[in-house]
Structure 1
Amino acid sequence: MLFNSIHFALFLPIVFFLHWFLAKKNLKLQNIVLLFSSYFFYSCWDWRFMLLLVFSTLLDYITGIKIHESPNHRSKKFWLWLSIGINLGFLGIFKYYNFFADSFASGLALLGFQANLQTLQVILPIGISFYTFHGLSYVIDIYKERLQPERDFISYSLFVSFFPLLVAGPIERGTHLLPQLVKVRTFNSSKAIDGLRQILWGLFKKIVIADNSAEYANTIFNNSDAHSGSTLVIGALFFTFQIYCDFSGYSDIALGTARLFGIELLRNFAYPYFSRDIAEFWRRWHISLSSWFKDYLYIPLGGSKGGVWMKIRNTFIIFIVSGFWHGANWTFIIWGVLNAVYILPSIISNTNRNNLEIVAKGRLFPTVSDFFAIISTFGLTVFAWIFFRANNVSHAFNYIAEIFSASLFTIPSFEGDTKSLVTAILIGLFVLIEWLGREDKYAIEKLGMSWNKPIRWGFYYSVVILIFLFTGENQTFIYFQF
């Protein structure tokens, strides 16, 4: 069930009614409604993987209690590693087994040996990377005594499988979400209206910007051999806006939907394409994953407290793991390594926290230096996205080689290039709106609040009309594959 589908448009009001009008102020009933709605939501993808979700939930629920009740450190460690081992084991089998088998066979072939290793003919359970990390953060936080185990199984199950975040995040923490699930929620109309506004903006980003950008990005990337360097640059730019609006659009819909039920989820994006350096970009892109790796991998490895070589090692580890988390393909690993190379100078020189506030805060325009810093950071990001989007490593290198050829200075041409001008104009409009709203949680949170009511509502209706005009075949969200 896609957020941008008619099925979800019917599903959401029903759950909203059951939660607020049937359950009213009964906490247990509220959570039961949301839990079974979440299981139904997940079952619409493939009911067979419900068993895996429930097993993962039971595993971490039990091990969390066992860790807390263990009489000594050795016992705590046993239950912790049991949870980590089983969770990562399932993730490894479903997501990475074929990658390692194929890579091992290819390595043996280079040495002159032939190996016929069996691969698994299974589909990746949707959301497994996300709900696995929910559970891991929960048991690790209990082990580190940051969190008490949740004894109510309904509440804990809802923490893992709450439908807005179940299949593509944000990756929640028990310390943030669980306290909201164990107290009665009362309806707040202003929060609900704010949630609807964020859902609207998320749908605009997904349907109007991401899906239309995807059409031209796919046309160019899938036929890159037939296009000039200038056209390939256009393709990379279309994909750059596709992936941002696709994933941040999903996150906006997820956060807005949760707010309809009185629940606040972690923010996942904070205008990353307005970043002035790569360190700032990674504080603003997929925030819940970046902070997860920082707290549960980078800091335990020593973070930036050691010598230069430890900083280098830890930086590369976290970005390689981040790349690998995104998918079992060498292109993702190279993408991770490339971002590590980008960020390493600022890590070594301790300048990685120079830009903590949003650019040009309180001003309409950035300074000249900030403007060029944004452009250069954006250019590095676009270049890295080529590896993320390419089918394989050779495809990525061939794509880049053509960009840096003489054909870069030709006029771009591809199927639908005239029609794509409309999408380019909409992207420009989108960037303008994001810039004007960059100091808020999402671009239209406060935009237009000071306008006359007819103008403000005219703006909202214009967004709705654009969504309906550009609604075509429902496109799945990119991060569902991760």
Structure 2
Amino acid sequence: MLFNSISYLFFLPIVFAIYWMLNARKLKWQNLFLLTASYFFYACWDWRFLFLLMFSTGLDYFTGIKMFEAKSVKLKKFWFFASIFINVGFLGVFKYYNFFIESFEDLLTNFGVTSHFWTLKIILPVGISFYTFHGLSYVIDIYYNRIKPEKNIVDYSLFVSYFPLLVAGPIERATHLLPQIKKKRVFNYENAMEGFYQILWGLFKKLVIADSCAVYANEIFDNHQSMNSISLLLGAVYFSFQIYGDFSGYSDIALGTSKLFGIDLLRNFNYPYFSRDIAEFWRRWHISLSTWFRDYLYIPLGGSKGGMTTKIRNTFIIFLVSGFWHGANWTFIIWGFLNALFFLPLLITNNNRNNISIVAEGKMFPTIKEFFSILLTFTITTFAWIFFRSNTVSQAIEFIKNIFKFNVNGGFQYLTFDRYTIELVFLLLLFLFIEWISRERVHPVFGKFKSLKVIAIITMILIFGVFSEAKEFIYFQF
């Protein structure tokens, strides 16, 4: 079930109404109902993989308790590594097995050896990377005595399977979400309205910005051989806005939906395209994943302690693993590698934490230095996105080569499909302006003149939104 589908338009109000009607009863009934609704939500995609979700949940619930009750360090380690091995094993089989087999076959082919290994013909369970990371963080926190295991199976299952975040995050922590699940929740009208506003803004990002940009980005990337340099540059920029509008739009809908139920989720995006360097960008983009890798991989590896060689090694590990997390393709690994390269000068010069505050805070305009820093950061980010979007490394390289041919014959090559062109450029500029003046708020609808903002956003969605079909969110494939 998609957030931007008609079915979700009926699903959410029904769940919302029943959930708060159960408020007069015990908290356990609310949580049990939310869990049931979450399983139904997931089963609408493919009910067979619901059993995999349940198994993963039961595994971490059981091993968490066993670790806590272990009478020896050796036994505690056994349960810990059993959980890690099985969780990562499932992720490896469904997401990475074919990648490794095909890469090994390609390697043998380069040495003149022909091979035909067995590959799996299976689809990737939606959300597996996200709910696996929920479970891993929970197990790791118990192992290091940061938290105690949750004894209530319903509450723990809801932590893993809570439907607003189930398929594309944000990646929650037990320390943040479980206490809210176990606490009695009272309906708050203002909080619910804030949730509604955030959902609306998320839908605008998805339906108007992301899906409109997708029309052009897809055509340009799919026909890049015949596109001139200007059109290819435009296609790369369109994809930058597509992936931002798509993923941050999903996160806004997830956070807004959760507010309707009195539960706050971790913020996942904080106006990343106004970042002044790549380090700031990664503090503002997919925040829940970045902090997950920081806390559960980067710091255990030694973090920023030790010499420069250790820092550089850990930085490259983080970015390469982040790229690989996104998908079983060399394009994602190169995308991670490029981000590590962009980060490297800041690390070496110890300038990676220069830009912590909001850009031009309290001012209408940035300084000239800030403007060009933002432009440079957006440019190198967009360059890396070309690899992220391309199907193969060779396609990405060819795309970039054609950009640097500086072929401008034909100007902007408007393709023949029934969407707007100039209007989309205007929409993107308007979107940037709205985000810029709202960058000190949680989201643009927050603050004054909410009613006017709501009317304006609904009008824009109805006029410019893509409704021909409910398009999946990009991060469903991860």
1:443, distance to aligned residue in structure 2 (A)? 2.3
CA deviation digits over 1:208-247, x for unaligned, max 9?
0000000000010000001001110000000000000000
CA deviation digits over 1:135-169, x for unaligned, max 9?
00000011111111100000000000000000000
Distance 2:362 2:445 in 1: 17
What secondary structure does 2:14 align onto?
A: helix
- The partner residue of 2:476 within 465, 473, 480 is 480
Instruction: Indicate whether 1:79 and 2:75 are aligned.
Output: no
Distance 1:149 1:258 in 2: 24
Distance 2:22 2:44 in 1: 24
Is the contact made by 1:25 and 1:186 (CA closer than 8 Å) also made in structure 2? no
1:385-464 residue pairs with structure 2 within 5 A? 385-408=385-408, 411-416=411-416, 419-446=420-447, 449=448, 451=449, 456-464=450-458
Distance 2:324 2:408 in 1: 31
Q: Which moved more, 1:276-285 or 1:340-349?
A: 340-349
1:420, distance to aligned residue in structure 2 (A)? 1.6
Letter in 2 for 1:244: Y
Letter in 2 for 1:419: Y
How many residue pairs match? The answer is 475
Is the contact made by 1:303 and 1:311 (CA closer than 8 Å) also made in structure 2? yes
Letter in 2 for 1:18: I
Distance 1:226 1:336 in 2: 28
1:72, distance to aligned residue in structure 2 (A)? 2.2
Is the contact made by 1:25 and 1:185 (CA closer than 8 Å) also made in structure 2? no
Is the contact made by 1:34 and 1:158 (CA closer than 8 Å) also made in structure 2? yes
Is the contact made by 1:304 and 1:347 (CA closer than 8 Å) also made in structure 2? no
Is the contact made by 2:316 and 2:340 (CA closer than 8 Å) also made in structure 1? yes
Which sections of structure 2, spanning at least 5 residues, go unmatched? Answer: none
CA deviation digits over 1:287-328, x for unaligned, max 9?
000000000000100111111111111111110000000000
Q: Cα RMSD over matched residues?
A: 1.2
Residue equivalent to 2:239 = 239
Letter in 1 for 2:15: V
User: TM-score normalised to the size of structure 2?
Assistant: 0.98
User: TM-score normalised to the size of structure 1?
Assistant: 0.97
CA deviation digits over 1:386-440, x for unaligned, max 9?
0000110000000000000131576221305982211111111111111111011
1:241-256 residue pairs with structure 2 within 5 A? 241-256=241-256
Distance 1:420 1:144 in 2: 54
Is the contact made by 1:220 and 1:414 (CA closer than 8 Å) also made in structure 2? no
1:171, distance to aligned residue in structure 2 (A)? 0.3
Q: Which moved more, 1:467-476 or 1:239-248?
A: 467-476
Q: 1:323 to 1:340 in 2, by over 3 A?
A: same
Is the contact made by 1:191 and 1:259 (CA closer than 8 Å) also made in structure 2? yes
1:1-400 residue pairs with structure 2 within 5 A? 1-400=1-400
Is the contact made by 2:445 and 2:453 (CA closer than 8 Å) also made in structure 1? no
Is the contact made by 1:247 and 1:478 (CA closer than 8 Å) also made in structure 2? yes
Letter in 2 for 1:262: G
Which sections of structure 1, spanning at least 5 residues, go unmatched? Answer: none
Is the contact made by 2:228 and 2:408 (CA closer than 8 Å) also made in structure 1? yes
1:22, distance to aligned residue in structure 2 (A)? 3.0
Q: 1:240 to 1:21 in 2, by over 3 A?
A: same
Identical-residue share of aligned pairs (%)? 60
Is the contact made by 2:214 and 2:242 (CA closer than 8 Å) also made in structure 1? yes
What secondary structure does 2:92 align onto?
A: helix
Is the contact made by 1:63 and 1:79 (CA closer than 8 Å) also made in structure 2? yes
Q: Which moved more, 1:252-261 or 1:72-81?
A: 72-81
What secondary structure does 1:154 align onto?
A: helix
1:267, distance to aligned residue in structure 2 (A)? 0.4
Is the contact made by 1:323 and 1:332 (CA closer than 8 Å) also made in structure 2? yes
Distance 1:24 1:340 in 2: 52
